A and B are shown apart, each in its own frame.
Chain A
Amino acid sequence: MTGAGTAIWGVGTSAFGKQTSLGGPRLAWQATVEALDDAGLQASDIEAVYAGTVFGDPGTVTRCLQQIGIVEVPVITIENACASGTSAFHEARESVEMGRYERVLAFGIETMTAHFDGAISPIASDPDGAQGYAMPSIYGMSATRYKYEFGVTDEQMAEVAVKNRRHAMGNPRAQHHKTVTVEQVLGSRMVADPITLFQCCSIADAAAAAVIGPLGGSQDPRGEVVIRSSALRSGRLWDHTTDKVWGWDIVADTAARAYDDAGVSVGDIDVFEVHDAFTIGEIITTEALGLCELGEGGRLVESGHTSLGGLQPVNPSGGLLSRGHPLGATGLAQIAEIVWQLRDMAADRQVPGARLGAVETMGGGTAGIDGNACVVTVLEQVG
């Protein structure tokens, strides 16, 4: 599907962290006002809102946006697990691409500390969740499988956390601003064998937003970032017929579609923000995105290819491992990071000369399927 083109006009985020006392609306105002200012728009200019939130109370999104004047418009809330924010982005982009609206807010919010003290509680209506299965278990099992099948080492997994925490030193909005060593990562307490605490993202409260409109239609088109493509899908059945770990195929399938629609190959992309909820997740995802072959993800991170200064940096923001993971906000925070990278605004974490970037978010929690949803979008600097 191609029209004259769709662009991101502006982005904004709150800080990321455990900030229960702020509540949803204040986080939302920070993100939304920044995005509107960045786009040069007033709240009254927004024609529709697509929002992502998972654990929010009924009415969360309208409650967050009404008092800054985003009213009398369609407000559509989407739940797609960890990919809720990018799903909202995807639908916002589609609505512009199809000519339905011209100034759309994609918005994501989550106040995790209002709901959880630690890991997300298992979903009691799910065949796996009803067994007390929490999200770290699936990543623990992926890691066990990768050690067995491909010889991925604990040190290679730890290196993902070391890299992303190092990257976050340049990101003032991240939750964690402290580097860690491989020894510290592996010495932190075990959560789901072989995944240790420092290999798990923290919960967080945050909001993030992007204003989307026709390419060239904003007040300052030089600040626009082109949405070359966006793909969204649910997973295949994940069953006894596959030897792939959970979440591999959905990322590969979604990425293939996004690259194809954008007319690019993975080698063209300068910078990535990907779903590193757990260290093994980034290893699997970099493989599925095509940055290396199946089973080579551990060696890829070890090689420095995905570090700042490497050929294709992954998670220059520090990723979920440093930012924390406010589910609905995460995808739009990833989008914001790539927009800043493509505008050369990322300061100490800037990937020099980045022109093409990609965002990947994958959400799960449903037994028997290879992910509830995955979004991959390819973004490009204007000009």
Chain B
Amino acid sequence: MTSLTTTPPERAGADPRPELAIHEGRVLLTGSRCGDCGYPQAINPPRCPICGSHAIATATFGPKGTVFSSTVLRIPVPDRTPPFTLAYVDVDEGPRILAHVDGPDEALVPGSEVVLSGWSEHGDPVVRRSGP
């Protein structure tokens, strides 16, 4: 089961995970949006992978999102204790990211509404169910 903290973790080295930050009490995803085609990403590359534009601006997304799909991983992986729930979440107006799910060890039904909530004890982004 995933633990939840709202204290931002130290991001060591080239941490590749989606980066969350707290803005006015809300947990938002920090990423980028193409100034030409509007393509959103959880990272901030020098060119847009869709239209090639250099006009990539930092952007924040969320806190709400919709589950594309979900599973509970029940086998051991290094540094984590199973089981824990994962979901691909389409953040509102933003990119699709992988996140851990705060709640019972049950896969979320695709289409479920979730909200970005903070971080796991390992610094993973965490969502929890917010609606149907």
Q: Do A and B share a complex?
A: yes
Chain B residue at minimum C-beta to C-beta distance from A119: B75
* Chain B CB within 8 A of A310 CB: no
Q: Which of A131, A189, A190, A238 has the most CB of B within 10 A?
A: A131
**Complex Cα–Cα for A137 and B69 (A):** 10
The interface residues of chain B lying within 8 Å CB-to-CB of A348 are none
Are A367's CB and B98's CB within 8 A? yes
Give A146 Cβ to nearest chain B Cβ, in Å. Answer: 9
The interface residues of chain B lying within 8 Å CB-to-CB of A245 are 69
Give A247 Cβ to nearest chain B Cβ, in Å. Answer: 13
Stretch from A21-29, A122-130, A210-218 that touches the partner? A122-130
The interface residues of chain B lying within 8 Å CB-to-CB of A191 are 73-75
The interface residues of chain B lying within 8 Å CB-to-CB of A133 are 73, 77, 86, 98
The interface residues of chain A lying within 8 Å CB-to-CB of B95 are 239-240
The interface residues of chain A lying within 8 Å CB-to-CB of B88 are 141
Are B74's CB and A127's CB within 8 A? no
In B71-119, the 8 Å CB interface with A consists of 71-80, 84, 86-88, 90-91, 94-100, 106-107, 109-111
The interface residues of chain A lying within 8 Å CB-to-CB of B79 are 132
The interface residues of chain A lying within 8 Å CB-to-CB of B74 are 189-193
The interface residues of chain A lying within 8 Å CB-to-CB of B99 are 131
- Given the known interface contacts A133-B86, A191-B74, the answer about A237 and B68 at a Cβ–Cβ threshold of 8 Å is no
- Given the known interface contacts A127-B98, A141-B69, the answer about A148 and B17 at a Cβ–Cβ threshold of 8 Å is no
Are B110's CB and A144's CB within 8 A? yes
Are A145's CB and B75's CB within 8 A? no
The interface residues of chain B lying within 8 Å CB-to-CB of A126 are 16
In B39-62, the 8 Å CB interface with A consists of 40, 42-43, 49-50
* Chain B CB within 8 A of A2 CB: no
Are A144's CB and B77's CB within 8 A? no
The interface residues of chain A lying within 8 Å CB-to-CB of B97 are 127
Give B121 Cβ to nearest chain A Cβ, in Å. Answer: 11
**Complex Cα–Cα for A237 and B75 (A):** 28
Please report B residues at the A interface, Cβ cutoff 8 Å.
14-18, 40, 42-43, 49-50, 68-80, 84, 86-88, 90-91, 94-100, 106-107, 109-111, 122, 124-125
Please report A residues at the B interface, Cβ cutoff 8 Å.
118-119, 121-122, 125-134, 136-137, 140-145, 148-149, 189-195, 237-240, 243, 245, 367
